[in-house]
């Protein structure tokens, strides 16, 4: 018996990285897992993730879809509701970066990041909230970033999208609290994933030197925080943003 036994969690962008780690952690605690990604195949990891989750003995299915697409998301969520019966936990994790200094940033860079990182969360919350309202309970977790709190030169689009994720969680928390639905945000700092492994060694070192705990975070560090926010361990917590960053910002 895990702390999420009997619950269904929907996690976006979970074929790999932080989303996958969250899915694995939730499944270890007994949650059934519906996850999405752009494609679910062998090449991009989705099929392997599906197998690893199924090996934990819970109900699992990966769904292909662009989280930034409103109509597609509505159809996908209604399919998930049919396949799993309930949706108790929603983790809006899908995200991309398209960095550039303001003067050089193109409209396409801006639009892509806002649509994939922020509009996607609106799409999924909009589709899931009616289901959660009928259940009179639900936990929504938006994956933000420390740069959504503090800003970051060269990431105006990304930082704005992540600040939006925080305000979105707070607004939904206020609207939906009376219906038993909580909404919170996680703001990871420097986490070792595909997104950060491409950075030059010098930049990585500069980041690590700013972190009191003197290491990058692991995907499991984020998954532990997500587990807390998803479960009844945080039953009286809503509208909060938890920075999981090794103490980088105090």
| DSSP assignment of 62-97 | EEE--TT-HHHHHHHHHHHHHHHS---EEEE-----
Q: How near is the Cβ of 180 to ligand NAI at its closest, in Å?
A: 26
Tell which positions 167-226 bind ligand NAI, by CB under 6 A: 188, 190-191, 193-196
Is the CA virtual torsion 150, 154, 156, 162 positive or negative?
Answer: negative
Tell which positions 25-54 bind ligand NAI, by CB under 6 A: 36-38
Q: Is 11 annotated as a binding residue?
A: no
Is the CA virtual torsion 124, 162, 184, 180 positive or negative?
Answer: negative
Q: Does 16 sit near ligand NAI (CB under 6 A)?
A: yes
Type and span of the H or E element at 186: strand 181-188
d(CA 4, CA 29): 5
DSSP state for residue 13 in the 8-state scheme: S
3-state class (DSSP) for residue 26: helix
Q: Does 164 sit near ligand NAI (CB under 6 A)?
A: no
Q: How near is the Cβ of 13 to ligand NAI at its closest, in Å?
A: 3
Whether 236 is catalytic: no
Q: Site for ligand NAI (CB under 6 A): which residue of 33, 34, 58, 68?
A: 68
Q: Is 158 annotated as a binding residue?
A: yes
Q: Site for ligand NAI (CB under 6 A): which residue of 145, 157, 231, 234?
A: 145
Q: Site for ligand NAI (CB under 6 A): which residue of 40, 60, 116, 185?
A: 116
Q: Does 94 sit near ligand NAI (CB under 6 A)?
A: yes
3-state class (DSSP) for residue 226: helix
d(CA 241, CA 90): 16
Of these residues, 26, 35, 84, 158, which one is catalytic? Answer: 158
Percentages (nearest 5) of helix, strand, coil residues in the chain:
50, 15, 35
Q: Site for ligand NAI (CB under 6 A): which residue of 9, 90, 113, 143?
A: 143
For residue 75, how many other CB atoms are within 10 A of its CB? 14
Complex with ligand NAI: residue 93 or 157, whichever CB lies closer: 93
Q: Does 246 sit near ligand NAI (CB under 6 A)?
A: no
d(CA 65, CA 33): 16
Q: How near is the Cβ of 239 to ligand NAI at its closest, in Å?
A: 19
Binding site for ligand NAI (CB under 6 A): 12-13, 15-19, 36-38, 66-68, 93-96, 116, 143, 145, 188, 190-191, 193-196
Binding-site residues, in ranges, read 13-16, 93, 158-162, 191
Residues assigned a catalytic role: 158
């Amino acid at each position: 018996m895990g702390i999420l036994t009997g619950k269904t969690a929907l996690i976006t962008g979970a074929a790999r990285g932080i989303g996958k780690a969250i899915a694995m952690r939730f499944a270890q605690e007994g949650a059934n897992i519906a996850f999405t990604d752009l494609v679910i195949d062998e090449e991009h990891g989705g099929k392997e993730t599906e197998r690893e989750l199924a090996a934990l003995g819970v109900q699992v299915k990966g769904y292909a879809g662009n989280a930034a697409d409103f109509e597609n998301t509505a159809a996908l969520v209604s399919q998930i509701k049919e396949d799993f019966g309930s949706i108790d936990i929603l983790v809006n994790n899908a995200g991309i970066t398209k960095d550039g200094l303001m003067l050089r940033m193109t409209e396409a860079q801006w639009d892509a990041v806002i649509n994939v990182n922020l509009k996607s969360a609106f799409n999924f919350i909009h589709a899931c909230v009616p289901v959660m309202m009928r259940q009179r309970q639900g936990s929504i977790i938006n994956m933000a970033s420390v740069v959504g709190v503090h800003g970051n030169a060269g990431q105006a689009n990304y930082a704005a999208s992540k600040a939006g994720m925080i305000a979105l969680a707070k607004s939904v928390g206020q609207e939906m609290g009376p219906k038993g639905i909580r909404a919170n945000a996680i703001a990871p700092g420097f986490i070792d994933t595909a997104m950060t492994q491409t950075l030059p060694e010098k930049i990585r070192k500069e980041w690590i030197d700013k972190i009191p705990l003197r290491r990058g975070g692991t995907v499991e560090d984020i998954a532990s925080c997500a587990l807390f926010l998803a479960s009844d361990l945080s039953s009286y917590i809503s509208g909060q943003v938890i920075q999981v960053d090794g103490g980088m910002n105090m």
